[in-house]
Amino acid sequence: MVLVFAENTKGNFKKVALETVTYGKKTAEVLGTDCAVLTIGTVNNAGDLGKYGASKVYNVAYDGDFDSQVYTGIIAAAADSLGADTVIVSHTSTGKSVLGRLAARMNAGSVAGVNAVPTNDGTFKVTKSVFSGKAIAAYEVKSEKRVLSVMGNSLPPEETGSAVEVETLNVDVPQGRVTVKETKREEGIVPLPEAELVVSAGRGLKGPENWGIVEDLATALGATTACSRPVADSGWRPHHEHVGQTGVAIRPNLYIAAGISGAIQHLAGVNNSKVIVVINKDPEAPFFKAADYGVVGDAFEVLPRLTEAVKKMKA
């Protein structure tokens, strides 16, 4: 059996959880088995995960804060009790922090950040993107059990079924050895990995004092803002906005990049966007090669005009 751990935030399932369930269902089909889903703590509408391929949803009661050791213990115990040989988590900070522990606990082979549904011709094979998206690595997992984390935006959530029952699963919940003192969460903004619309800017904006025109366009569109790495490194924008090889990997429907050259390390995080619009005053900027639409022009002129056009259209 395939067991997917579906992460929730304040009881709700985000896109990444739905993607992971969809991935689990497709993996179960490859293996000729069922896909069960595990949720932890108080969750809303967990049965709806059946729409994305869960044949059954299990819930383990837990009211503490996230603790990697506790979650690993719960997921390993659930896999054991349900007889799951393949466990799938999201490649998020939560998933990454349980993956290695889980593999050790289950004596399983693990691949972190897979980007395509596995194949199984007697040997379980799965791929992941490496070298900033320039190459694909193919892995054979020869152990009896496997643990995978799925890179966000690797495949869209697919509604193929209907809601299923949620069953409470009683497993031993280990005692946490770490106490979370405080958690601060930014409210009201769609986090970058989940944003469908992103407006991003680079060093071409010259300084943090000029970000108003980026934010204006983002607000008009209902988009999330992002930036290139030097912009975050210089302290012009917070680090969580930095996209690319060493930052967040995104896959929005629309990525607007203003004053960003399009270095390979930047492209590694954004080249899965559906539509890329590049605004750069240098017609030779490498980003234009990856763009669906390009504007050769000064961001200080183009961004405000774009904002006006969006506002007009929305009105």
Ligand X SMILES: Cc1cc2nc3c(=O)[nH]c(=O)nc-3n(C[C@H](O)[C@H](O)[C@H](O)COP(=O)(O)OP(=O)(O)OC[C@H]3O[C@@H](n4cnc5c(N)ncnc54)[C@H](O)[C@@H]3O)c2cc1C
Contact positions vs ligand X (CB under 6 A): 202-204, 228-231, 242, 244-247, 259-261, 263, 265-266, 269, 279-282, 285, 298-300
CB of 126 to ligand X, least distance (A): 24
In angstroms, what is the minimal distance from the CB of 115 to ligand X?
A: 17
Q: Would you say 1 and 85 are in contact if contact means Cβ atoms under 8 Å apart?
A: yes
Work out how close the CB of 273 gets to ligand X at its nearest, in angstroms, rounded to a whole number.
14
Beta bridge partners of 162: none
According to DSSP, the residues that pair with 258 across neighbouring strands are 201, 279
SS (HEC) of 102-168: HHHHHCCEEEEEECCCCEECCCEEEEEEECCCCEEEEEEECCCCEEEEECCCCCCCCCCCCCCCEEE
Cβ-based nearer residue to ligand X, 92 or 261: 261
C-beta closer to ligand X: residue 127 or 246: 246
Complex with ligand X: residue 146 or 237, whichever CB lies closer:
237
CB of 270 to ligand X, least distance (A): 9
Q: Considering beta carbons, is residue 70 or 299 the nearer one to ligand X?
A: 299
Q: How far is the CB of 268 from ligand X (least distance, A)?
A: 7
- Concatenated DSSP letters for 214-266? HHHHHHHHTPEEEE-HHHHHTTSS-GGGBBSTTSB----SEEEEES----HHH
Instruction: Select 50 or 259, whichever has its Cβ closest to ligand X.
Output: 259
